[in-house]
Every structure is written in C-alpha cells, then in structure tokens.
C-alpha cells in the first residue's frame, strides 16, 4: 500500500507569540497520542513525521492528498518519493510564496510558520475536504488542530450565535462561515488563505472560477466530451494510490455514475447500500442493475435502530450536532460495512445534483425572453419526463395531458406570485396576458391558487423557528465568511456556484471526514473538482435540460457505462418517510432524557416544539405537508443530543 495515501489522523499544536510559558501548556496535549515535536516557541503532536517539517527557517504541518502532486513535484525539480508531504509544501512555499495555494489542487490543509518573516500562513482546499480549526490570541498564541476537541486551548464554552443559526432553517445558499459551536474556536475557510503578520490576521480567497474560458465552444458534443474527460479524470485522481477503493451506491444517477466510472478505470470495487426497508425509499432495482453491470463486491445493511445512540456517537467524533437532514444512522451503517470490506478510500456522489445541474433555468430564460411558445414546450417536456409526485401522489399514473396541465398551473402560479412579491405589477399583468392564449391560464386560476395557498397555511401553520422568545432576541456580530468566492462572478454562473459551495455541503463534507478519521478510511467526492465545476457552470441550460428529464450532460457523457435503468430514470427517491420515522424513533428514545428542566428548553420553546410533534405523529396529515415541521423538530433534537453529550463529557 502507498503509505502516503493512508489516512492522517489528528494533529494539534500551539505557537506562542507572547512571553515564554504563556499560556501554560494544557494537560490534554501531554496526553495526546502520536509523535510529539518541541521547537522554539511552541510544540505540536502529529501522527507521522511525514506531515511535519521543523528547520531553522520554517515550521510546516500538513494533511494533504494532492490531485496534481506529480505535476507539482515535476515543477519543483523532483519526482517519486523524494520529498515527504511537509517537505513538498515547504519547497512549494519557497518557490511560490503566498501564491502557493493557487498552484495546488485536491485535498489539503497546511500551516507554515516562516521564522524569517515571522509570518504564519494557513491554507485550506477549495471544498473543505480537510478540516482545520484554530484559536488565535494576538500577542499570545495560535492554537490549531484538525479536530476541535484536540485544540490545546479547547474549552466547552458554547457559541450560542452558531446554535441559533443551526436551529433556524436557512432559505438561501449561505456561504461557509468561520464560526463554530465553541467560543474562541474558528474554522479555516475553504478556498482561503489565512495570514498572521505583526499581530494582524487577514484572509484571502485564492480561487477564482472562470467559466468564460469555455465560451469558444460551439458544439454540444464538445461539452459532453469534455465533461466525460474531466469526470473520468476526477474519479481517477480520487482513487489513485489506493489499494481497495469502494463507493456508496444508492441507485441514484450520481452514485451510480461514480461507481461505474471507478470500475471502468480500476476493475473490482466494493459498493455499499443502506436500505431503510421502506417501500418509498427502495432503490434495490437500480442498485442491483449497477452491481450486476460492474460485478462489484456488494454490501448491504440497514440503518441503526438506535437513532439516539448514533447521534450521541457522532457528537463525540464530530464535536458538534448532526448536520445532515437525516440522522447518521445511514453513515455509520455504511462505515461499518466499509470497515468490514477493508476499503481505504470510498467515493461518494456528493453533490452531483448541483454540479451537473438540471437545466431548470431554461424555463426562466424563456420567460424572461418572453418566448412563450418555447416556454410552453419546455414546461410540457418537464411535466412528461419528471416524477412530480409532490404535486400529486398519483402523478406517475396520470395521463400525459393531465400532467402537463397540472405542472403548467403550478409553475405559472409560482412565477406570478414571485412577481407580485417583488412588486413588479407591470410584469405580472404582461406575463399573465401572454400566458392566457398559450397555456390557457387565466386570472381565475391565479386567484384560486391564492385561495388554496391561504387555506393550506391556515390548515398547516408552520412556525418560522422554534426558538424561545429570549433566545431569538439575542443576535451577535456577523462572522467572517467565504463570500469573496463569488466576487466578480457573472450572474449567469453565481446561483449555481453558490449552490455547489454553500455551507451545508461543507458541513456535510466535514462530518464525513470525521467519520472516516474514526474508521480509518478516506471519503472522496469526484463531483467536487475544479475543472468539472468550471465546465458545468459554462454548459448552457438547454444542454443540461435535454428533452426535459434534466441532467442530460452526465446522461450523454456516460451512456455507454451506465445501465439503462439508471440512465433513463427521471425521478429521485424521497427519504421523507424515513426522515419522519427516524424522528419518531428519536423522539421516543429521548423523551426520558429531555425532561422539562433540560438545557434544550432554554433555547427551544417547548410549547412550540410539542405542537410540531403533534403534527409529525398525526397519521391523517399527508407526508408532504410535514417536511418543514420535520426540519424544525429534528434539528432541535439533534441539538439536544449534542448538549447531553457535552454534559456527559464535562462530568468525565
């Protein structure tokens, strides 16, 4: 096995800027596992000497898996295993200085303390694959680690501003922020370089996407060929140097594309499917189609029934609450299988939806251009090819004409209401008049839809949040964020790029990273690739939309390696039923723990929470009316489990 590709476990360290002996070295560092390194002005602990370099000029700490490592080594005048990871970063810094991060692709975090200039530099990869946390006290110290609780200066003081953000659903694609759940502990921003010089901390975004480089492409097939080439290259880079690759396999287009491409390159792989054993979530037919196509070593499991136990375990590993919409009963079940299979890297389909794109913006393009015949045609294609059961539970059995009529009314009503909310009265009447002859849509349809919306809101009133009055009134300063990523990016690209890079995906990536650290394997995400994303942003919406099914780029690029069952599916499985079931299990398991005096109810209004719980346990209310209730209530319980783990840890 290539030892440079093995998981790098936790590192932690402390640089002192103040008087000798301040702050006192915490006991936790004395007890840390791994190799201990002492140097003038500080000390650190790391699992391997390969990731650390200490010489008269530089201190370097790294955790890297570069996708362009051979290119970097070649540019630096070396090859093979001539440099350790830390030596490679040191040489790169000597060559490119503060422009080092622009040269690197892949997964990395590194810290460089330049003794000559007395400058500290920290860099994190573009997608936050690797984690880095720090506690900086100007004139005193800089503590750092790749796990929060391993910080030498760590304490459990909670940052309640972060807790509020966690409990209140975010409607927009917010960028990642440096705030963590702990006071004084910050997270390095993805795609940013942090510098401390003469006591001043600055952050610089080093990644500038440039989709315009593909403006010269004129043929659709050229986009498809490039997408295939970049996707193949990304999967290859993610598996390069590993002995036993595996892949999550849900049966969806993303995970199936990754698994089939990995097999296309490297032969045998292991695949992992977690099945909740519910009719609405059953992907078995698609999973089997892929498994038979690539002849993988296949493992199947069930989510752990102990939902509370899984969340408590995650809290101990992740140092914060569950961040996925569904509890990590799925991820632990898969990780157990991965450990059993002996895989050293596991590929995911996270998040192909956003990167590839569905082409739904095509409808908006036609509407803004007032191209009503094309809009009508696209709406009808969309209705014909997509599974829109959220509009009607019997969608898949409806005649084509009825599907087209129902979706046209839904789309047009949504767009007209948006114009009303934006107070664009002229555009509203102009659009409504134009749509009447094209799609037989009338003002009466609009008014009826408004009545339906009002009735639904009165029947199923959903609170905007579950915070107590006092907690909701507390607000704090805005944290540093990665918003600079979007500076100067054309509007045509910005929405999709925000969707790809927003904080929820970074949070999810960090969570998987910590689970992998615990089990001893690495998660890799081929869709998160710089080249692939730039290209996908540039691909016209019409190419992505295809004949209405959406995501046509990847369908056409991989049509020779995907099984037809997956290639032609137009639906995406909803896990709403499992989400509801897991919440109900968690609620019953936590009921004896979260009594009236529990700290959770200082933050969450228990009366509001109990009303939401009534809705979630009411079998007469349709499942599609419960999604927002589930989001609010599950987040509250996820937080409660973490608070309980914090209390248990404090007692120990």
Tens of pLDDT, residues 334-368 = 999 999 999 999 999 998 999 999 999 999 999 88
What average pLDDT does the segment 220-229 reach?
Answer: 97
At residue 239, what are phi and psi to the nearest 5 degrees? -105, -10
Tokens of residue 380, six digits: 């009808």
641: in domain: yes
Residue 456 has pLDDT above 70, yes or no: no
* Percent of all residues in the chain with a pLDDT value above 70, rounded to a whole number: 93
Inter-residue contact 204 to 193 (CB < 8 Å): yes
Does the pLDDT value for residue 417 go beyond 70? yes
The pLDDT > 90 percentage for the chain reads 67
3-state secondary structure of 426: helix
Mode of pairing for the β-strands spanning 141-145 and 133-137: antiparallel
Determine the length of the chain.
Answer: 652
Residue 135, domain CATH? 3.60.20.10
| Boundaries of domain holding 154 | 11-205
Whether 504 and 604 share a structural domain: no
Read off the tokens for 541.
């919406």
* Mean pLDDT value of segment 411-435: 81
Q: Is the same domain home to 53 and 167?
A: yes
Q: Token pair of 606, please? A: 């228990």
CB 89 within 8 A of CB 62: yes
247 domain residue, yes or no? yes
Q: Tell me, yes or no, whether 385 lies in a domain.
A: no
532 domain residue, yes or no:
yes
Q: How confident is the model at residue 457 (pLDDT cuts 50, 70, 90)?
A: low
**How distant is the alpha carbon of residue 397 from its chain centre?**
34
CA 205 – CA 203 distance, rounded (Å): 7
Cβ burial, residue 183 (10 Å; 0-12/13-18/19+): middle
Predicted local confidence at residue 394, as pLDDT: 87
Q: Where are the beta strands (DSSP E) in 275-405?
A: 297-301, 345-347
**What is the reported pLDDT for 652?**
52
Assign 231 to helix, strand or coil: helix
Structure tokens at 478: 């805005």
- Note whether 18 and 101 are same-domain residues: yes
Q: Residue 450: which H helix or E strand, with range?
A: helix 443-459
Tokens of 568: 């032609």
Could you give phi then psi for residue 557, rounded to 5 degrees? -70, -30
What is the Cβ-side half-sphere exposure of residue 92, based on CA atoms within 13 angstroms? 29
33 and 121 part of one domain: yes
DSSP class of residue 397?
G
State the Cα–Cα distance between residues 203 and 123, nearest whole angstrom. 10
Element (H, E) at 637: helix 627-651
Average pLDDT over residues 203-220: 95
The radius of gyration computed from the CA coordinates of the chain, to the nearest angstrom, equals 26
Alpha helices in 346-479 (DSSP H): 352-356, 361-368, 372-385, 400-421, 425-439, 443-459, 469-472
CA angle 350, 313, 522 (to 5 degrees): 40
Residue where a domain stops, chosen among 537, 571, 605: 571
Residue 182 shares a structural domain with residue 281 = no
Of 328, 325, 278, the closest CA to residue 308 belongs to 328
Residue 178: what pLDDT? Answer: 95
| Distance set, CA 438 to CA 361, 371, 376, 379, 435 (Å) | 20, 11, 7, 12, 5
Q: Are residues 548 and 641 in the same domain?
A: no
Residues 6+ apart with CB under 8 A from 456: 625
Residue 151 and residue 30 share a domain: yes
Name the 3-class secondary structure at 133. Answer: strand
Q: What is the DSSP letter of 390?
A: T
For the cut 60, the answer to whether the pLDDT of residue 28 exceeds it is no
From 405, 419, 284, 358, select the one nearest 547 (Cα to Cα).
Answer: 358
CA of residue 155 relative to chain centroid, distance? 27
Give pLDDT, residue 20: 62
Do residues 136 and 154 share a domain?
yes
The answer to whether residue 443 sits within a structural domain is no
Whether residue 89 has pLDDT greater than 80? yes
- Mean pLDDT of all residues belonging to the chain: 89
Of the candidates 623, 130, 123, 72, the residue with the CA atom closest to the CA atom of residue 389:
623
- Site of tokens 């910080």: 151
**Cβ(258)–Cβ(526) below 8 Å:** yes
In tens, the pLDDT along 46-76 reads 877 788 999 889 999 999 999 999 899 889 9
Residue labelled with tokens 């000559």: 116
Q: What is the C-alpha separation between 472 and 452, in angstroms, rounded?
A: 31
Tell me the pLDDT band of 3, cut-offs 50, 70 and 90: very low
53 shares its domain with 132: yes
Structure tokens at 100: 């080092």
User: What pLDDT, on the 0 to 100 scale, is given for residue 455?
Assistant: 67
103 and 196 fall within a common domain:
yes
Cβ atoms of 5 and 242 within 8 Å: the answer is yes
Q: Range with the lowest mean pLDDT among 216-230, 375-389, 523-537, 538-552?
A: 375-389
Looking at the structure, tell me whether residues 542 and 528 fall in a common domain: yes
Residue 612 counted as domain residue: yes
Stretch 78-102: mean pLDDT: 88
pLDDT of residue 229 exceeding 60: yes
CB atoms within 10 A of CB 180: 18
Whether the predicted pLDDT of 453 surpasses 70: no
- Per-residue pLDDT of 252-309, as tens digits, reads 999 999 999 999 887 789 999 999 999 889 999 999 999 999 999 999 999 999 999 9
Q: What residues contact residue 298 under an 8 Å CB cut-off, 6+ apart? A: 249, 270, 271, 273, 291
Name the pLDDT band for 30 (thresholds 50, 70, 90).
very low
Query: According to the model, what pLDDT value does residue 391 have?
Result: 84
- At 160 the three-state DSSP class reads helix
Domain count, the chain: 3
Same domain, 196 and 54: yes
Which pLDDT score, from 0 to 100, does residue 392 have? 85
634 within some domain: yes
Angle at 551 between CA 549 and CA 556, to 5 degrees: 95
Pairing of strands 245-248, 345-347: parallel
Q: Kindly state whether residue 413 falls inside one of the protein's structural domains.
A: no
Give the domain-ending residue among 527, 550, 571: 571
| Sign for the pseudo-dihedral over CA of 254, 276, 464, 637 | negative
Tell which of 571, 587, 615 closes a domain.
571
- 197 contacts 118 by C-beta, under 8 angstroms: yes
């Amino acid at each position: 096995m290539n030892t440079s590709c093995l998981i790098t476990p936790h590192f932690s360290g402390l640089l002192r800027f103040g008087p000798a002996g301040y702050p006192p070295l915490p006991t936790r560092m004395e007890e840390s596992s791994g190799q201990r390194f002492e140097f003038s002005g500080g000390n650190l602990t790391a699992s391997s000497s390969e990731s650390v370099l200490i010489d008269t000029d530089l201190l370097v700490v790294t955790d890297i898996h570069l996708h362009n490592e051979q290119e970097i080594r070649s540019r630096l005048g070396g090859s093979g295993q001539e440099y350790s990871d830390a030596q490679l970063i040191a040489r790169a810094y000597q060559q490119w200085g503060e422009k080092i991060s622009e040269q690197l692709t892949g997964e990395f975090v590194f810290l460089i303390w330049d003794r000559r200039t007395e400058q500290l530099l920290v860099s994190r990869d573009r997608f936050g694959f690797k984690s880095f946390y720090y506690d900086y006290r100007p004139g005193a110290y800089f503590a750092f680690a790749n796990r929060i609780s391993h910080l030498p200066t760590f304490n459990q003081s909670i940052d309640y501003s972060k807790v509020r953000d966690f409990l209140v659903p975010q409607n927009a694609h917010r960028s990642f922020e440096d705030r963590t759940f702990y006071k004084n502990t910050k997270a390095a921003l993805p795609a940013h370089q942090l510098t401390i010089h003469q006591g001043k901390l600055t952050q610089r975004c080093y990644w500038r996407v440039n989709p315009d480089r593909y403006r010269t492409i004129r043929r659709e097939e050229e986009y498809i060929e490039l997408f295939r080439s970049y996707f193949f290259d990304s999967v290859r880079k993610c598996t390069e140097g590993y002995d036993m690759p595996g892949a999550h396999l849900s049966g969806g287009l993303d995970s199936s594309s990754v698994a089939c491409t990995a097999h296309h390159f490297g032969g045998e792989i292991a695949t992992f499917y977690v099945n909740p054993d519910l009719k609405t979530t059953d992907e078995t037919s698609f999973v089997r189609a892929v498994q038979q196509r690539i002849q993988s070593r296949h493992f199947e499991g069930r989510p752990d029934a102990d939902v509370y136990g899984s969340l408590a375990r995650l809290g101990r590993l992740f140092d914060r609450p569950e961040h996925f919409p569904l509890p990590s009963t799925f991820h632990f079940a898969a990780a157990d299988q991965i450990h059993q299979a002996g895989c050293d890297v596991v590929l995911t389909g996270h998040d192909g939806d956003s990167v590839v794109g569905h082409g739904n913006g095509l409808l908006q393009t036609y509407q803004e251009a007032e191209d009503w015949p094309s809009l009508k045609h696209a709406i009808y294609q969309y209705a014909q090819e997509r599974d829109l059961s959220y509009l009607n539970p019997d969608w898949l059995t409806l005649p084509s004409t009825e599907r087209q009529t129902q979706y046209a009314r839904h789309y047009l009503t949504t767009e007209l209401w948006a114009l009303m909310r934006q107070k664009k009265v002229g555009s509203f009447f102009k659009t409504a008049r134009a749509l009447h002859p094209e799609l037989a849509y009338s003002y009466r349809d609009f008014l009826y839809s408004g009545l339906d919306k009002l009735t639904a809101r009165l029947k199923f009133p959903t609170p905007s949040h579950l915070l107590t009055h006092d907690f909701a009134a507390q607000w704090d300063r805005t944290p540093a964020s990665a918003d600079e990523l979007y500076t100067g990016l054309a509007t045509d690209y910005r929405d999709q790029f925000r969707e790809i890079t927003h904080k929820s995906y970074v949070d999810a990536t960090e969570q998987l990273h910590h689970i992998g650290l615990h089990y001893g394997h690495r998660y890799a995400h081929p869709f998160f690739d710089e080249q692939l994303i730039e290209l996908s942003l540039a691909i016209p919406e019409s190419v992505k939309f295809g004949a209405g099914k959406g995501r046509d780029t990847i369908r056409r690029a991989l049509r020779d390696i995907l099984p037809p069952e997956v290639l032609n599916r137009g639906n995406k499985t909803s896990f709403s039923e499992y989400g509801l079931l897991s919440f109900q299990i968690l609620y019953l398991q936590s009921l004896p723990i979260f009594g009236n005096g529990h700290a959770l109810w200082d933050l969450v209004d228990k009366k509001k929470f109990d009303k939401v719980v009534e809705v979630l346990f009411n079998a007469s209310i349709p499942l599609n009316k419960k999604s927002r209730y589930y989001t609010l209530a599950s987040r509250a319980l996820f937080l409660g489990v973490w608070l309980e783990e914090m209390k248990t840890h404090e007692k120990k």
